[in-house]
């Protein structure tokens, strides 16, 4: 048996599946695609999470697009974080090209151009369905970790939430939270001290500054109503295809705290809302996080612990998480260890640091008798990648340098008119884009403070009135003369007494 035949048999045995699977392309040997040596990812293991990595311009976004398309075709909803703004083309079919036909002939699968059902979501002023969450939904623990608070400050946040629960004060947006925080050491100082103990003004000041920092990154647009219901991410269209939800994030690349706040909130809500599924035949939702380093870049240790916990636990809810980044070292080791699928595009070795990173990256992949992993990582072309997944029994599949299939949809953004058409067709925009600002902690506390001030003013007026009456009464008493004294001190009485005395002296 020739080396090529042995390699074909090696790939075929490693990537044969009993259940449904997504075909990524054909395995390559010595830089040449082996037709029909298909590299497949079983749907059954897609909730085991994954990584798509590679240098800029090597095709990571197109790989993400291929996965999203095929998942949608299999009836699996998708959520994409679009930080570069180049994924909206999923809504239009590929125009095709002779090079695409040539590529697919080498792979051994036909090419068909398709459009896919998409929903445009947004965190900011950009067009799309608005995604929001209330401060109450975050809870004291998650909010404290986002703000990177100390233990003492976390305790104060817990007291703030407890006070609002005890007094029926809804915490909807950051304006509400700031108001209660200020009230705790201002007008409500005595009330808080009596019920929960003394709260330090310096601690509430430090928390307030961190909330303002979060606001400056645009979080005031994210916190509020109406809260986005995560069940709306799992919709299927009339043709049985999963909706591809694209979150437009092109304007928050320089606001990593907002990005990580949104991500953690969404993952926590999905984990809390979705039922346990165990090992089902396919995932309930697949979540792609492009430019994943932004989540971890400025995350505190507490926040990283929270993310790691969710990544470990959310698999049982039927959720697949896929991180897209330039280098595997961008992902913390504890998270990287949970990723079953790895798709590695080319890395560039321009510096000693780059070569060290490539060496580390190569150690994340199974040893193969057909490849020198460190060498092939620098020689892969655009649209080629090293792939290893998990088979249906949870075992790593053989490492395969893969010539990837082409996306079936357009590899470009939508025009303004096309985007406007997608936004106008959205059912969810009617549900979420109305601005709601109902009475909450901010308004209720302002009313309480105003009422207290009015009562204090009335008491002050009463006290002033009572004081005036008392003074007036005292004056009247002081001017009223006893009748006996009045007679004794009268001029007539005195003249009479003096007359008697004169007679006696004579």
Question: What tokens does 30 get?
Answer: 């010595």
Residue range 21-28: average pLDDT? 96
Quote the pLDDT of residue 476: 56
pTM listed for this prediction: 0.83
Residue range 368-392: average pLDDT? 91
- Give the count of domains, the chain: 1
> Can you tell me which residue has the tokens 């925009």?
429
Between 156 and 500, where is the model more confident? 156
Residue range 197-224: average pLDDT? 88
**Residue 289 counted as domain residue:** yes
pLDDT at 254 over 80: no
Q: How many residues would you count in the chain? A: 506
**Residue 316 counted as domain residue:** yes
Buried-exposed string 381-402: b where 16+ CB fall within 10 A, e elsewhere = eebbbbbbbbbbeeeebbbbbb
**Residue 341 counted as domain residue:** yes
pLDDT range class, residue 406, cuts 50, 70, 90:
very high
**Residue 156 counted as domain residue:** no
Q: Which residues, in sequence order, are bridge partners of residue 489?
A: none
**Residue 392 counted as domain residue:** yes
Q: What is the pLDDT of residues 332-358, one digit of tens each?
A: 888 888 899 999 999 887 777 778 878
**Residue 333 counted as domain residue:** yes
CATH (domain of 329)? 3.40.50.300
Q: What is the pLDDT of residues 96-142, one digit of tens each?
A: 999 999 999 999 999 999 999 999 998 877 888 998 889 998 889 88
**Residue 177 counted as domain residue:** no
- CB distance 328 to 360 below 8 Å: yes
Query: Mean pLDDT in the chain?
Result: 86
User: In terms of Cα–Cα distance, which of 73, 3, 117 is closest to 405?
Assistant: 73
For 37, the domain range is 3-132+225-432
pLDDT at 240 over 90: yes
pLDDT range class, residue 483, cuts 50, 70, 90:
low
**Residue 163 counted as domain residue:** no
């Amino acid at each position: 048996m020739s080396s090529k035949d042995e390699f074909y048999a090696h790939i075929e045995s490693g990537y044969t599946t009993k259940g449904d699977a997504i075909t990524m392309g054909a395995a390559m040997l010595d830089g040449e695609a082996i037709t029909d040596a298909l590299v497949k990812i079983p749907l059954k293991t897609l909730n085991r999470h994954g990584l798509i990595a590679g240098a800029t311009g090597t095709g990571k976004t197109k790989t993400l697009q291929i996965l999203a398309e095929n998942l949608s075709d299999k009836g699996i909803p998708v959520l994409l974080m679009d930080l570069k703004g180049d994924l909206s083309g999923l809504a239009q079919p590929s125009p095709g090209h002779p090079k695409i036909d040539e590529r697919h002939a080498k792979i051994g699968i036909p090419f068909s151009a398709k459009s896919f059902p998409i929903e445009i979501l947004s965190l900011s002023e950009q067009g799309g369905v608005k995604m929001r969450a209330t401060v109450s939904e975050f809870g004291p623990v998650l909010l404290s970790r986002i703000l990177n608070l100390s233990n003492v400050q976390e305790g104060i946040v817990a007291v703030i939430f407890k006070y609002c629960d005890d007094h029926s004060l809804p915490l909807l947006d950051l304006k509400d939270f700031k108001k209660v925080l200020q009230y705790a050491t201002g007008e409500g100082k005595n009330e808080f001290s009596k019920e929960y103990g003394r709260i330090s003004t310096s601690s509430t000041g430090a928390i307030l500054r961190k909330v303002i920092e979060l606001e400056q990154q645009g979080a005031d647009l994210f916190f509020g109503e109406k809260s986005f219901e995560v069940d709306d991410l799992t919709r299927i269209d009339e043709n049985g295809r999963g909706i591809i939800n694209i979150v437009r994030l092109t304007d928050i690349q320089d606001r990593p705290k907002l990005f990580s706040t949104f991500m953690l909130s969404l993952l926590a809500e999905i984990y809390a809302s979705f039922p346990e599924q165990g090992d089902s035949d396919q995932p309930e939702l697949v979540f792609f996080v492009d430019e994943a380093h932004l989540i971890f870049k400025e995350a505190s240790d507490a926040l990283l612990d929270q993310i790691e916990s969710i990544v470990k636990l959310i698999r049982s809810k039927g959720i697949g998480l896929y991180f897209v980044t330039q280098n595997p070292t961008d992902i913390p080791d504890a998270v990287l260890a949970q990723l079953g699928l790895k798709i590695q595009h080319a890395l560039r070795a321009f510096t000693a640091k780059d070569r060290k990173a490539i060496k580390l990256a190569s150690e994340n992949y199974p040893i193969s008798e057909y490849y020198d992993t460190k060498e092939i990582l620098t020689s892969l072309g655009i649209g080629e990648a090293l792939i290893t997944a998990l088979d249906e029994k949870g075992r790593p599949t053989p490492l395969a340098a893969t010539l990837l299939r082409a996306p079936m949809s357009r590899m470009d953004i939508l025009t303004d008119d096309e985007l406007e058409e997608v936004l106008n067709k959205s059912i969810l925009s009617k549900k979420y884009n109305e601005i709601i600002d109902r009475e909450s902690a901010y308004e209720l506390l302002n009313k309480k403070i105003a009422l207290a001030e009015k009562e204090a003013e009335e008491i002050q007026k009463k006290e002033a009135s009572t004081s005036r009456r008392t003074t007036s009464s005292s004056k009247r008493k002081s001017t009223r003369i006893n009748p006996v004294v009045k007679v004794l001190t009268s001029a007539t009485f005195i003249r009479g007494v003096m007359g008697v005395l004169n007679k006696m002296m004579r």
